[in-house]
Amino acid sequence: MISRFFRHLFESLKSLKRNGWMTVAAVSSVMITLTLVAIFASVIFNTAKLATDIENNVRVMVYIRKDVADNSETIEKEGQTVTNNDYHKVYNALKGMSTVKSVTFSSKEEQYEKLTETMGE
């Protein structure tokens, strides 16, 4: 039984040597096919992951003119004082949406500081 195994092994190696170009062609075609399948699979998986990340991490920035109305109120939960009545309308409308996790007020000065930290002066 073991002698048959070695005989088949030697015959296969002899055939591989005789038909070297066919062996190289077969191995190359399988290697190229598997490489292409792996590349396309990784592109598809990364695209799906990117789509779910974009879908779950959306940030919307709303800018409201300060001179439209002047009514000073405090938002109890956040403890922020805002001098624009329209802000509270927008704030309450956004907070009422089920898909909105948080609403944060950022003044012009705070945005300027963030911009100078990011971009430099």
What average pLDDT score do residues 82-87 get?
Answer: 61
In percent, how much of the chain has pLDDT > 70?
A: 79
Encode pLDDT of 28-38 as tens digits. Answer: 999 999 999 99
Which residue ranges make up each domain of the chain?
1-58, 74-119
In percent, how much of the chain has pLDDT > 90?
A: 25
Angle at alpha carbon of residue 43, lines to 38 and 48, rounded to 5°: 125
Task: Give the CA dihedral 107, 109, 111, 113, nearest 10 degrees.
Answer: -150
What is the chain's length? 121
Q: Which residues make Cβ contacts (< 8 Å) with residue 32, sequence separation at least 6?
A: none
Q: How confident is the model at residue 39 (pLDDT cuts 50, 70, 90)?
A: very high
- Among the residue ranges 35-44, 46-55, 60-69, 75-84, the one predicted with the least confidence is 75-84
